[in-house]
Amino acid sequence: MPSVFGNLGKIPELRKRILFTIIMLGIYRIGVFVTVPGVDRGIVQKLLGGGSGFLGLFNMFSGGALRQMSVFALGIMPYISASIIFQLLAVVVPSIERLQKEGEMGRRKITQYTRYGTVLLSLIQGIGIAFYLESLKSNLGEPVVADPGWGFRLMTVVSLTAGTAFIMWLGEQITERGIGNGISLIICAGIVAAFPDAVFSVVSYVEKGIMKPFTIFVVLVIAVAVVGVIVFFERGQRRIPVQYARRVVGRKMYGGQSTHLPLKVNTSGVIPPIFASSILLFPATLANFIQKPWMQDIQQALTPGSWAYMTIYVVLIIFFCYFYTAVTFNPIDVADNMKKYGGYIPGIRPGKQTAVYIDKVLSRITFGGALYVSAVCVLPSIMIAQFNVPFYYGGTSLLIVVGVSLDTVSQIETHLITRHYDGLTGPRGPRIRGRSRKG
């Protein structure tokens, strides 16, 4: 094993890429602690210290920047939201769909539009946060903002928008000059950064007698098992055999080879649980501002950990798994491309029947992937109810951390193999397949 990791330092380009990635992530973590001007960070930390609800979910994806009320408080979520919006628009807007099919130039234009959308969403969210901060007061009546007004609002909007734009630039630099997907690594770094606090919390619970050592052991065993299940399913593929017919072009013969079409079990990644969590936690957040009896009833019904909450959560995850897969994967385009280059699935007529067959197979494996994602996401709630422990790393967090780790290790292994070194798993070990790199 030391020799395997020793190969990382033998390739100058790979060494520079890893070092560059670490430096960029370090800069991001430093920026998390730069507070927005005019805000009392101590009061904000006390008010948001619980880390529950919609704000808790937002704080997790911002790497704790929201609780610090940092210039990075919006995190990378505006960029992700803009990317998803343009993916959805590509289905209904013909001009954006044509850009997707134009190759590299089309992707660059869509990336540029995504940046503009990120800035627009940051401006809108920044205005909302500015008004929200002005309304916050501590239990003693101390205001979070000492000098409210349009001067503070403009400064907050500019600071938060600039922070999001800088994070977006960091992510693009990591993707281009570092190793792994920059946006995914930034989210992963924010989640992993809270791991030491989680460990100290567990230790304090043991010292106070709230948790027993045997309970911690059981939780750790379950956590390791969940990680193993995530690795198994994230690497899982349904390989459809594809045969290419021989064709003569000039004096050369092309085709006549056999390959396969890999269909991932979890094509949608972590998008479904993120959407489902946001939808379920949003009414509970509104109930804190709208003091109406019917809103309070909704808040009680959608309490995290209740059977109603988990049932709706699972249904939403399954729905978004199918919905996002249908948006990002078009069987008709795949079938047309196969037919264009003389490819066909044995026993299936090229064209429409091939698209129908691929869609049928994809629907079946997506159902299995949706059940797997649902099980991973509801397991922490069941553990909290059964063992009465604060399990910090929820299903969404584990999916992100494990998936990004697989993707990054896969890219490192690719660099090693292309330079005649064994991969990270050794000469006889299995090759690691990362997740789909769609940003």
Per-residue pLDDT tens, the chain, 439 aa: give them. Answer: 445 556 666 778 888 888 999 999 999 999 888 888 888 888 887 777 655 555 666 777 777 787 888 899 888 888 888 888 887 787 788 888 788 777 778 888 888 999 999 999 999 888 888 888 888 777 777 788 888 888 889 999 999 999 999 999 999 999 889 888 888 888 888 888 877 877 787 788 778 777 778 877 887 888 888 888 888 988 888 888 888 877 666 666 665 678 888 888 888 888 888 778 777 766 666 665 666 777 667 767 766 667 777 888 899 899 989 988 888 888 888 888 888 877 888 888 888 899 999 999 999 999 999 999 998 888 776 776 666 655 556 677 888 888 888 888 888 888 777 766 555 555 555 555 555 444 3
Q: Are both 252 and 353 inside the same structural domain?
A: yes
CB contact at 8 A, 237 and 263: yes
Q: What tokens appear for 370 in the block?
A: 């949706």
**pTM for this structure?**
0.78
- Sign of torsion, CA 150 153 159 164? negative
Task: Kindly state whether residue 417 falls inside one of the protein's structural domains.
Answer: no
CA 267/CA 214 separation, integer angstroms: 37
Q: Are both 40 and 71 inside the same structural domain?
A: yes
CATH number at 287 reads 1.10.3370.10
pLDDT at 37: 87
CA 285/CA 267 separation, integer angstroms: 30
Instruction: Indicate the number of domains in the chain.
Output: 2
Task: Kindly state whether residue 337 falls inside one of the protein's structural domains.
Answer: yes
* Backbone phi and psi for residue 254, each to the nearest 5 degrees, phi listed first: -120, 160
CA 75/CA 155 separation, integer angstroms: 17
pLDDT at 10: 72
Name the residue type at position 256. G
Task: Kindly state whether residue 112 falls inside one of the protein's structural domains.
Answer: yes
CA distances from 280 to 53, 225, 277, 362, 390 (A): 9, 27, 5, 27, 20
CA 178/CA 182 separation, integer angstroms: 8
Q: Which value, to the nearest 10 degrees, does the dihedral of the CA atoms of residues 77, 80, 85, 90 take? A: 180
What does 238-278 look like in DSSP terms, one character per residue?
EEEEEEE--EEETTEEE---EEEEEEETTTTTTHHHHHHHH
Task: Kindly state whether residue 60 falls inside one of the protein's structural domains.
Answer: yes
Residue 143, classed as helix, strand or coil, is strand
Q: Are both 4 and 90 inside the same structural domain?
A: yes
Q: Which of 80, 226, 180 is nearest to 404 (CA)?
A: 180
Q: Are both 77 and 181 inside the same structural domain?
A: yes
Task: Kindly state whether residue 289 falls inside one of the protein's structural domains.
Answer: yes
Q: Which of 278, 277, 296, 279 is nearest to 287 (CA)?
A: 296
Q: Are both 127 and 236 inside the same structural domain?
A: no
Q: What tokens appear for 352 in the block?
A: 């429409």
CB contact at 8 A, 424 and 7: no
pLDDT at 190: 84
CA 59/CA 92 separation, integer angstroms: 32
Task: Kindly state whether residue 402 falls inside one of the protein's structural domains.
Answer: no
CB contact at 8 A, 273 and 304: no
Q: Are both 152 and 227 inside the same structural domain?
A: no
Beta bridge partners of 35: 70
CA 279/CA 230 separation, integer angstroms: 24
pLDDT at 2: 47
pLDDT at 427: 54
Q: Are both 245 and 385 inside the same structural domain?
A: yes
> Which residue segment(s) compose the domain that 175 sits in?
1-194
Q: Are both 289 and 379 inside the same structural domain?
A: yes
As a whole number of Å, the CA-based R_g of the chain is 24
CB contact at 8 A, 266 and 372: yes
Task: Kindly state whether residue 411 falls inside one of the protein's structural domains.
Answer: no
| Count of positions (residues) in the chain | 439
Q: Which of 165, 194, 223 is the last residue of a domain?
A: 194
pLDDT at 86: 84
Q: Are both 227 and 365 inside the same structural domain?
A: yes
Task: Kindly state whether residue 78 falls inside one of the protein's structural domains.
Answer: yes
Name residues whose C-beta falls within 8 Å of residue 203's C-beta, 6 or more positions apart in sequence: none
Q: Are both 188 and 204 inside the same structural domain?
A: no
CA 326/CA 92 separation, integer angstroms: 13
- Please compute, for residue 14, the number of CA atoms within 13 A of its CA located in the half-sphere on the CB side: 20
Q: Are both 358 and 245 inside the same structural domain?
A: yes
pLDDT at 395: 72
Name residues whose C-beta falls within 8 Å of residue 412's C-beta, 6 or more positions apart in sequence: 8, 14, 18, 179, 424
Q: Are both 160 and 250 inside the same structural domain?
A: no
